Amino acid sequence: MKKLLAGTVCSLCMMVLHAQSVKTKLETATTALLADPQMKHAIMGMKLVNSETGELVFELNPETGLAPASCQKIITSATAMELLGPGFRYKTEIGYDGYLINNKLKGNIHITGYGDPTMGSWRYKNTRDSAIMRQLTQTLQARGIRRLKGALIGHTQKWETNTVPGGWPWDDIGNYYGAGTSALNWHENQFDIILNSGSQIGDSVHIVKSDPELYQVQLVSELTAADKSSGDNSIVYTSPLSNRGYLRGTIPAGEQAFVVAASMPDPPMQLLSAFAQGLAKADMKPTSFNYITEGVDTANYQSLYTYLSPTLDSINYWFMKKSINFYGETLLKTIAYEKTGFGSTEKGLEIVKQFWKERGIDPTGLRMIDGSGLSPQNHITVDALVKVLQYARIRPWFPYYYDALPVYNNMKLKSGTIGAVKGFAGYHKAKDGTTYTVALLINNYSGSTNDIVKKMFVVLDELK
């Protein structure tokens, strides 16, 4: 018994000594980083705890609110996994009204959306546009519907009409990572623009096509050709629900099929356009299509079927692994809808902040404008990030959450990047078996992002 007690005490001593060693190394490493010219006008926050014991190992400006960029996704993700559950599925209801005579439906097809972000997504075999269209037409045919004399009507009343959160920069909204979200979404609300550039610097750049083809949206190219090694310096400018967009900036000269990804201005209409085309190919072309955004849904229609999305654990995997802003905004509104009956960013944020307040996080340390971290107006403390990560560890859904984290610097970390902002937050298991939970944010650094990342990794290497 005495030997066992001595061994336990010895192990505790070793843990304390190791923690002190890591703290000392981090103090040295962070001092060096703060003295770096890139950090002259910057501010840095860092917090490190022992994951198993919760013991504080190191902290620097732990209560200072900093723009977290996509590190904010760890909060949205954990909240969604807890409040919705890893097995949660989105539904999209398909129905019809009118009557059927001789295999012809004299009535309308109705599609009611609840925010499914995977409709038409290429990430899953069963959500691709071809699979969705096949299921729709086969279901109609199985019910004896071979012809259609009526409209295709979408219903988005369950969610607010505002697709993009306040605080997003104008330079971001039209690009693929600035895709908003609606009760009806399609192809992750993004599309590709294929471009053809002249052979000389300064030549015009022409739009070849969009894929998928945009419905009633005119794109205007003001792009010019730049040096062949210049890369993609284009920006797409479209506003939600607009029918005109502009491409500005440069792409390399001599490109025949240069691809730029952008966000759809009107996702519900894009979905309905795709559905109308799919029905037309099956000889069931609708007379028209549009969607209803306001008022109580009083349509008297019979249900055909309810389409279900992949489970949330799978959606969350892509959300975290590929840092999909669109998924984050969708999850935030989904939390609001599931808890209040109406999907809005404002209500979703209220629920998220209240949830973490009840778990010991000061709401003033969670200045959240959106669910993805894209807004530079977000300000989160590293203390809050670590507390969220620590809470996730004790929840039954943690294996899914942990698996979804990307790997950076041989550590399981969510990264965050917007203008002059870089962050990492997650977990690391050291060579001696100690598991750490860490958050590191830097705002307003100068110089290149690649350079600051290398210097941040030097600090994080002290955990190994």
For 27-47, how does the pLDDT look when each residue is reduced to its tens digit (9 = 90+)? 999 999 999 999 999 999 999
Q: Is 185 within 8 Å of 271 (Cβ atoms)?
A: yes
Q: What is the mean pLDDT of residues 345-374?
A: 97
**Residue 212, preceding peptide bond in cis (omega within 30° of 0):** yes
Q: What is the mean pLDDT of residues 429-455?
A: 97
Which contacts qualify for 179-182: CB closer than 8 Å, 24 or more apart? Answer: 179/263, 179/264, 179/267, 179/325, 179/326, 180/240, 180/263, 180/267, 180/326, 180/329, 181/115, 181/117, 181/267, 181/326, 181/329, 181/330, 181/333, 182/113, 182/115, 182/156, 182/267, 182/268
Quote the DSSP letter at residue 304: E
The pLDDT assigned to 4 comes to: 46
What percentage of the chain carries pLDDT values higher than 70? 95
To the question of pTM greater than 0.85 for the whole model, the response is yes
Q: Which residue's structure tokens are 């400006």?
A: 61
Instruction: Report the C-alpha gap between 16 and 53 in whole angstroms.
Output: 12
Confidence of residue 428 (pLDDT cuts 50, 70, 90): very high
The pLDDT assigned to 346 comes to: 98
The pLDDT assigned to 192 comes to: 98
The pLDDT assigned to 294 comes to: 83
The pLDDT assigned to 17 comes to: 55
DSSP string, 326-344: HHHHHHHHHHHHHHHSSB-
Look over the chain and give the mean of its residue pLDDT values, rounded to a whole number. 94
Q: Is 372 within 8 Å of 330 (Cβ atoms)?
A: no
Question: Residue 293 carries which side chain, given as an amino acid letter?
Answer: T
Length of the chain: 464
Question: Residue 414 carries which side chain, given as an amino acid letter?
Answer: K
Q: What is the mean pLDDT of residues 79-104?
A: 96
Instruction: Report the C-alpha gap between 67 and 348 in whole angstroms.
Output: 20
Instruction: Report the C-alpha gap between 370 and 377 in whole angstroms.
Output: 9
Quote the DSSP letter at residue 244: E
The pLDDT assigned to 300 comes to: 77
Q: What is the mean pLDDT of residues 359-375?
A: 97
Q: Give the model confidence (pLDDT) of 131-188 as tens digits.
A: 999 999 999 999 999 999 999 999 999 999 999 998 999 999 999 999 999 999 999 9
Instruction: Report the C-alpha gap between 193 and 251 in whole angstroms.
Output: 12
Q: What is the mean pLDDT of residues 193-214?
A: 97
The pLDDT assigned to 20 comes to: 78
Phi, psi angle pair for 28, to nearest 5° = -65, -45
Q: Give the model confidence (pLDDT) of 258-311 as tens digits.
A: 999 999 999 999 999 999 999 999 999 999 999 999 876 656 788 999 999 999
Q: What is the mean pLDDT of residues 224-238?
A: 96
The pLDDT assigned to 312 comes to: 98
pLDDT at 189 over 90: yes
The pLDDT assigned to 102 comes to: 93
Candidates 378, 284, 329; CA nearest to 180 is: 329
| 149, HSE (Cβ side, Cα atoms, 13 Å) | 9
pLDDT at 396 over 90: yes
Q: Which helix (H) or strand (E) holds 297?
A: none
pLDDT at 12 over 90: no
pLDDT at 16 over 60: no
